[in-house]
């Protein structure tokens, strides 16, 4: 036990002294004449006014008064005891549900150990303590809101689930602050291994941020790279395996082509080094998988997959000064491997040597130039190679109509606010699919390549805020990619993606563990989320079955290097080493003091 205000204990001396002095001082009593004194017993109990000293006599009232005074002073000293649990009176727990929390250096996993801590916090919470839990996965989720209902909290806790993806800790912390940032004495408890990027945009407000570290080891070997490329002698598969451990590791690497092993070897990899191999892919193979077998603590990154099917991947180059909306919309396509650049690399320009690396180039806020890619999507600034001819710019624009076209399926531009439109006229090969008061708005053209021109930049409109925007981007990618549509995709675990829906019927997503979920179509597309564990998923949509391979490709997560400090806005927050917390108990003491005073009053009244 310790005291928050130990100096208050000094009050014991003067207050106790005063009470005792009142008892040892002789009372100045009222004189009363009586016929005889021999009938009266000598009996004095109370002290009111005093004059001279007298001998201190035992009195229960004195004992009770001293006891009550001591209890009050003890309560003033704010005694506290160490109790198990991190929670305070108002606590938001941010539970890191990232891939690295699946490391088994804490038994059974870091994540399970963290859940056990939360369970302990619920159990040890005092009556009235409010607790909230946020699951920090790829998208933060409130598991249970701020409440003091342990039964409901325990029920909700059973639904927490770890992902095999990086977590958005920053967003989760912001969510926590939004709830308790203005509450005095509140706490935000981060249960994590600290394996995440620096949190740059977060302020805890009045809440105290407490970081509890989970995990102690970094013994992990991960498949760092798996891909294929077309070589002079056919398709070449490359595989890279990195040892994140502090010691060298012995690893067995197995490569499978369409499920059949084509290579297996054992490698010894030094600490922090990468092992790499290339080997020819069998002709006609569609899916290459790599598995490693090692004595490491994280299994999610022991598997990787790449789909060689041309329709399964779409390499996209985004030429833009920066447009987060467009980046996200592009990333929703499971085929897309997105690169960003401020200008078109020389090797990708039309007329230069070699074949281009990208299937589609997207111009946003940059003038379209001729490229080697087979598809071009341009927002706002037409070039010489565009399917339109620029006529200048118009400050305002009103949407008039849209044609039936695959690019416009499920997209409604009516009511979209657009400004600073490039006035264009379509070239002969171009087809206007959307038109406004100033002329063509969206033009598609198909010559030696497919092109889509949009007369405005997304950031010059509120189109990115409309549900039709990601659908339009997906439609455009489908159009630009041509007819090469694959039924196999490889995505990162936790990634949300969308696929065209040919019917209005819901699709069924079956996970690696056999669990199935329904996916409702939305404006002609299935928006699929929840693919957050590594493995093979099957999406059954009518007659079409799409196989989705989810994998973890994240060097930071694979490092599993639990951190003693987490970096919050350049500040280091140290991990707490003790799971216990100080718990005040001045309130029961004050109540006990009142009770003792009550007993003292009762004794006094009974005697009077």
The DSSP line for 266-312 is EEEE-TT-EEEEEEEPPTT--EEEEEEE-S-S--GGGEEEEE--GGG
Q: Which of 1, 7, 42, 504 touches other proteins by CB under 8 A?
A: 42
Indicate which single residue of 1, 38, 55, 504 sits in contact with other proteins (rule: CB under 8 A). 38
Backbone phi, psi, residue 76, to 5°:
-65, -30
Q: Which is nearer to other proteins, 32 or 151 (CB)?
A: 32
Nearer to other proteins (CB atom), residue 355 or residue 608: 608
CB of 152 to other proteins, least distance (A): 55
CB of 55 to other proteins, least distance (A): 13
Binding residue for other proteins, selected from 1, 32, 52, 127, defined by CB under 8 A: 32
Given candidates 48, 55, 107, 518, which one binds other proteins under the rule CB under 8 A? 48
Instruction: Point out which span in 37-45, 228-236, 421-429, 506-514 binds other proteins (CB under 8 A).
Output: 37-45
Gap between the Cα atoms of 104 and 271, Å rounded: 19
Our CB check for other proteins shows the closer of 46 and 198 to be: 46
Stretch in the footprint of other proteins (CB under 8 A) among 24-32, 108-116, 372-380, 389-397: 24-32
Distance CA 478, CA 607 (A): 96
From the list 587, 602, 600, the residue with the least C-alpha distance to 71 is 587
Residue with token string 């009470």: 19
Site for other proteins in 332-351 (CB under 8 A): none
Cβ count near 49 (within 10 Å):
11
Per CB under 8 A, 52 contacts other proteins:
no
30 part of the interface to other proteins, by CB under 8 A: yes
Under 8 Å CB-to-CB from 549, ≥6 apart: which residues? Answer: 287, 289, 305, 307, 488, 489, 490, 491, 535, 536, 537
d(CA 598, CA 57): 22
Residue 37 lies near other proteins (rule: CB under 8 A): yes
Nearer to other proteins, 36 or 151 (CB): 36
Nearest approach, Cβ of residue 47 and other proteins (Å): 8
Considering only residues 505 to 564 of the shown chain, the ones binding other proteins according to CB under 8 A are: none
Residues 6+ apart with CB under 8 A from 479: 375, 406, 407, 444, 450, 452
Residue 79 and residue 5 in contact, taking contact as beta carbons nearer than 8 Å: no
Let me know: does 314 contact 484? Beta carbons within 8 Å. no
Under rule CB under 8 A, residue 27 binds other proteins: yes
Build a one-symbol-per-residue string for 458-497: x at contacts with other proteins by CB under 8 A, - elsewhere: ----------------------------------------
* Closest CB to other proteins among residues 32, 353: 32
**Binding residue for other proteins, selected from 2, 4, 5, 44, defined by CB under 8 A:** 44
Task: Please identify, among the stretches 43-51, 114-122, 228-236, 259-267, the one whose residues bind other proteins according to the rule CB under 8 A.
Answer: 43-51
60-76 helix and 586-607 helix, angle to the nearest 10 degrees: 160
By the rule CB under 8 A, 428 interacts with other proteins:
no
Pairing of strands 208-213, 187-192: parallel
β-partners of residue 266 are 252
Q: How many degrees, rounded to 5, is the angle at CA 370 between CA 369 and CA 371?
A: 110
Length of the chain in residues, anyone?
608
Of 32 and 127, nearer to other proteins (C-beta) is 32
| Radius of gyration in angstroms for the set of CA atoms belonging to the chain, rounded to a whole number | 36
Residue 353 CB contacts under 8 Å (≥ 6 apart), including other chains: none
Instruction: State in angstroms the smallest separation of the CB of 69 from other proteins.
Output: 22
DSSP 8-state symbol, 99: G
Contact predicate 486/413, CB 8 Å: no
Contact between 39 and other proteins (CB under 8 A)?
A: yes
Q: Which is nearer to other proteins, 51 or 516 (CB)?
A: 51
Number of residues located near other proteins, criterion CB under 8 A: 23
Least separation in angstroms between CB 28 and other proteins: 9
58 binds other proteins (CB under 8 A): no
Q: Looking at beta carbons only, is 54 or 503 nearer to other proteins?
A: 54
Contact 213, 563 (CB under 8 A): yes
Give the footprint of other proteins on this chain (CB under 8 A): 27, 29-46, 48, 606-608
């Amino acid at each position: 036990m310790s005291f928050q205000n130990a100096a208050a204990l000094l009050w014991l001396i003067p207050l106790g002294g005063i009470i005792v002095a009142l008892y040892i001082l002789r009372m100045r009593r009222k004189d009363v004449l009586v016929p005889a004194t021999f009938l009266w017993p000598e009996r004095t109990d109370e002290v009111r006014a005093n004059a001279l000293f007298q001998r201190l006599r035992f009195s229960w009232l004195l004992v009770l008064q001293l006891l009550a005074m001591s209890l009050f002073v003890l309560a003033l000293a704010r005694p506290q005891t160490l109790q198990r649990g991190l929670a305070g009176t108002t606590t938001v727990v941010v539970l890191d549900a990232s891939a690295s929390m699946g490391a088994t250096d804490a038994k059974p996993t870091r994540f399970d150990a963290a859940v056990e801590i939360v369970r302990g916090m619920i159990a040890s919470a005092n009556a009235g303590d409010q607790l909230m839990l946020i699951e920090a996965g790829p998208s933060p989720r409130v598991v249970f809101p701020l409440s003091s209902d342990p039964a409901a909290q325990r029920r909700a806790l059973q639904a927490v689930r770890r992902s095999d993806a990086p977590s958005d800790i920053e967003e989760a912390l912001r969510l926590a602050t939004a709830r308790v940032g203005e509450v005095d004495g509140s706490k935000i408890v981060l249960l994590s291994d600290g394996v995440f990027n620096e949190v740059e945009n977060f302020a805890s407000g009045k809440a105290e941020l407490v970081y509890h570290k989970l995990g102690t080891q970094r013994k992990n070997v991960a498949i760092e790279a798996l891909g294929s490329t077309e070589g002079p002698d056919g398709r070449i598969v490359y595989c890279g395996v990195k040892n994140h451990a502090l010691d060298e590791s012995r690893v067995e690497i197995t490569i499978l082509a369409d499920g059949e092993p084509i290579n297996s070897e054992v490698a010894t990899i030094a600490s922090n080094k990468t092992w790499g191999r290339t080997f020819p892919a069998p002709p006609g193979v569609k899916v290459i998988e790599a598995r490693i077998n090692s004595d490491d603590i994280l299994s999610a990154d022991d598997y990787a997959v790449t789909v060689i099917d041309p329709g399964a991947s779409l390499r996209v180059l985004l030429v833009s000064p920066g447009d987060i909306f467009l980046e996200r919309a592009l990333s929703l396509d499971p085929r897309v491997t997105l690169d960003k650049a401020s200008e078109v690399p020389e090797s990708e320009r039309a007329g230069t040597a070699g074949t281009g690396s990208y299937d589609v180039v997207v111009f946003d806020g940059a003038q379209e130039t001729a490229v080697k890619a087979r598809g071009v999507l341009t927002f706002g600034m037409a070039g010489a190679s565009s399917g339109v001819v620029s006529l200048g710019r118009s400050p305002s624009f009103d949407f008039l109509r849209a044609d039936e076209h695959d690019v416009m399926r499920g997209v409604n531009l009516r009511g979209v606010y657009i400004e600073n439109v490039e006035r264009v006229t379509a070239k002969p090969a171009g087809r206007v699919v959307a038109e406004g008061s100033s002329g063509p708005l969206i033009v598609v053209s198909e010559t030696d390549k497919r092109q889509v021109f949009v007369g405005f930049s997304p950031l010059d409109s509120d189109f990115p805020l409309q549900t039709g925007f990601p659908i339009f981007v997906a439609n455009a990618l489908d159009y630009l990619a041509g007819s090469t549509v694959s039924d196999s995709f490889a995505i990162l675990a936790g990634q949300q993606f969308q696929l065209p829906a040919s019917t209005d019927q819901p699709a069924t997503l079956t996970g690696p563990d056999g669990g199935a979920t329904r996916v409702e179509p939305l404006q002609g597309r299935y928006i699929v989320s929840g693919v957050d564990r590594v493995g093979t998923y099957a999406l059954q949509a009518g007659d079409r079955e799409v196989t989705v391979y989810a994998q973890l490709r994240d060097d930071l997560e694979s490092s599993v290097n639990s951190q003693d400090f987490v970096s919050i806005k350049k500040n280091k927050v140290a991990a707490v080493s003790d799971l216990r917390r100080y718990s005040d108990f001045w309130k029961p003491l004050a109540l006990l003091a009142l009770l003792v005073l009550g007993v003292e009053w009762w004794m006094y009244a009974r005697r009077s």
